[in-house]
Amino acid sequence: MKNIERYIEQTILKPQTVDSDIEGLVMDAKKYGFVGICVPPFWVKKAKREIGDAPIQLVTVVGFPLGYNMTETKVFETEQAIKDGADEIDVVWSITAFKAGMNWPKIELARLAKVCHDHERILKVIIETAYLSEEEIIKACKLCAEAGVDFVKTSTGFAPEGAKERHIKLMRENLPSSVGIKASGGIKTYEQAVKMIQAGADRIGTSSGVQIVEASRED
Identify whether 90 is a catalytic site residue. yes
Strand spans (E) along 2-69: 8-11, 36-39, 57-62
Q: Which of 74, 90, 106, 150 is catalytic?
A: 90
Cβ(158)–Cβ(65) under 8 Å?
yes
141: buried, middle or exposed (CB in 10 Å: 19+, 13-18, 0-12)?
A: buried
* Whether 139 is catalytic: no
Buried b (16+ CB within 10 A) or exposed e, 170-184: bbbebbeeebbbbbb
Q: Could you tell me the CA-to-CA distances from 214 to 26, 72, 194, 206, 211 in Å, in that order?
A: 17, 42, 13, 14, 5
Catalytic: which of 106, 124, 153, 164? 153
142 is known as an active-site residue: no
Report which DSSP code applies to 10. E
| β-strand pairing of 180-184 with 8-11 | unpaired
Active site positions, annotated: 90, 153, 182
